[in-house]
Amino acid sequence: MMTTSMHDRLDLDQVPELAAQLRVDSIRSSTSAGSGHPTSSLSAADLLATLMARHLRYDWDEPEAPGNDHLVFSKGHASPLLYSVYRAAGVVSEQELMEGYRRFDERLEGHPTPVLPWVDVATGSLGQGLPDGVGIALAGKYLEKSPYRVWVLTGDSELAEGSMWEALATASHYQLTNLVTMVDVNRLGQRGETALGWDVDTYAARVEAFGARAVVIDGHDLDAIDEALALADGELDRPLVILARTVKGKGIPGVEDENGWHGKPMPEDKAEEAITALGGRRSLQVRGPQPPALEPAARSPRGEVELPTFTLGEEVATRKAYGPALAAVAKVDPRVVALDGEVSNSTGVADFIEAYPERFFEMFIAEQQMVAAATGLSTRGYRSFASTFAAFLTRAADFIRMAPVSRVDLRLVGSHAGVEIGADGPSQMGLEDLAMIAATQGSTVLYPSDASSTAALVAEMAELSGVSYLRTTRGAYPVLYGPEESFPVGGSKTLRSSEDDAVTLIGAGVTLHQALAAADALAEDGVRARVIDAYSIKPLDGAGIRAAVAATGGRVVVAEDHHAEGGLGAAVLAALASEPVTDLHLRHLAVDGVPGSGTTEQLLAWAGIDAAHIAEAARAALEG
């Protein structure tokens, strides 16, 4: 077994030994674990050996060093290769590689996650690493103005994902010459040949059509690899994409370029044969070139936020309160940035753009890329707010799902929610958004009913960890709260209350205003109703709601402009179930069926969530 320590840039003639070590360790670790993707790792070993030894500027002892390059494994299933790189760098031990890979409660998970300090974002859900890398590159070029590069290793199979082309289009638009994409074109996917196989010329034509520079190389020719990677040191005029024609399982007789080996570790006897064919085990330690020495960005102390104020009774759409509130938060926090899906004049973020254009990134109609860019920016310490219509956030559901795995903070804002939007029709109506975000691990879901609460909750979101979501409405509604009111996450507001209340009405957003109107109608009949603004849907004010329902004899109506599953009603039911209320009489009003076009009033009535239906449900609860 060869043991050598090398802490500087390697000569190219030394790289083959490192590449062989990466291949051997990819085989050893996956065979030891009994699972993994060694053949997908072997095809890219020459790329990574050359990158690590000669081009990746990285201080392995200081993963937070501001000058460090960033390495993103978009093809996260090739984790044996990545972890073998870490062993070669001396930051993962032989024991951890052999006994910790894919084991319970260990750092070397089946696909990379930021539990490791050298990993920026979690990958493995194909089509996400490159879009996330765009966000990191945006931060480097436009916000940090740092010379670091972002190197992304992708597979050819994931080029079937539309999000990869959204990423290249966005990288081209923003001229991200600090972003280098290395495509491991090994021809074989999970079940057989990919759509294009080794047709690298077609890949190159597509890459060029999206505005990037395509360079086609033999992915096992170290001179060609080195020359292509060195282009990142020159004066690029557009993002660089290196299309490396490779062989899956390279170096292993009987395995290389053979279908049926994807995601399969080699049996021990086969592994030993393969290791022998590669020249045996090695223990080279390679650090490669060091990054430029940069000072960490200064963090200014955050001052007091002066939120915009609104006049009681004034009619203001909550979406129109979002932008001014975000600009107010950004005034005292330079880490706040905003992104939008080309609907900023509708979402309300236009006020922020006018105040801080240098901190705004237009993602156009590419919602997956919008959320991915927010993810990448978050890894660099920025507080990203991403906005679009609530309905269109569902396109990015998988990117939102991966945010907790990446340990990032995402702040999402969805406007034009529910049937309330009116004549635009069902394609524009977000009716699943609350459920989608609420089901995300560790998320916060907020649904303000007026401009004052919206502004306060934007400020709250800036301090939240994890995924948070603010749902705003299209129409203008009366301001209910003064500037002195606070809106803590997990709280609620009681707008009508008396000792004689007979029923509790719970709403959020548009249905709160309908609940208030229903309470007025009930009062004309001599029935007093308690009205609760459940602006925090997750976490819900369970204790406050249980107390209100108990005080009104178990009689409660929940109304929401959302499908019945996974929204406000589901949260209320869960809260009541945690400490069952005696003799519960609950009516849940939600949108059932596919709506059409119409006025707001017509659609709220059609869905059965307007004031008349709420009052009717309250009377039924009183009778039941």
Residues annotated catalytic, as ranges: 367
DSSP code, position 394: G
Rg of the Cα atoms in the chain: 28
**Token pair for 116:** 């490791």
Q: Exposed, middle or buried by CB within 10 Å (0-12, 13-18, 19+), for 306?
A: exposed
DSSP code string of 452-490:
HHHHHHHHHHTT--SEEEEE--SSEEE----TT----TT
Half-sphere exposure of 46 (CA within 13 A, CB side): 27
Looking at residue 526, what DSSP letter applies?
T
Count of CB atoms situated within 10 Å of the CB of 220: 18
**Cis bond leading into 539, ω under 30°?**
yes
What is the amino acid identity at position 390? A
Whole-angstrom CA distances from 142 to 178, 237, 489 are 11, 16, 32
Tokens of 329: 């938060």
Question: What's the first-to-final CA gap in the chain, in angstroms?
Answer: 80
For residues 496-532, one letter each, b for 16 or more C-beta atoms within 10 angstroms of the residue's C-beta and e for the rest, the string is: bbeeebbbbbbbbbbbbbbbbbbbebbeeeebbbbbb
Instruction: Tally the residues of the chain.
Output: 624
Of all helices (H) and strands (E), which one includes residue 515?
Answer: helix 510-524
3-state helix vs strand vs coil in the chain, percent to 5:
40, 20, 40
Between CA 192 and CA 244 the distance in angstroms is 19
- 107-146 as b/e, with b when 16 or more CB fall inside 10 Å? bbbbbbbeebebbbbbbbbbbbbbbbbbbbbbbbbebbeb
Q: Is the dihedral of CA 591, 596, 597, 602 positive or negative?
A: negative
For residue 583, give every residue at least 6 positions away whose Cβ sits within 8 Å of its Cβ, in sequence order, or none: 553, 554
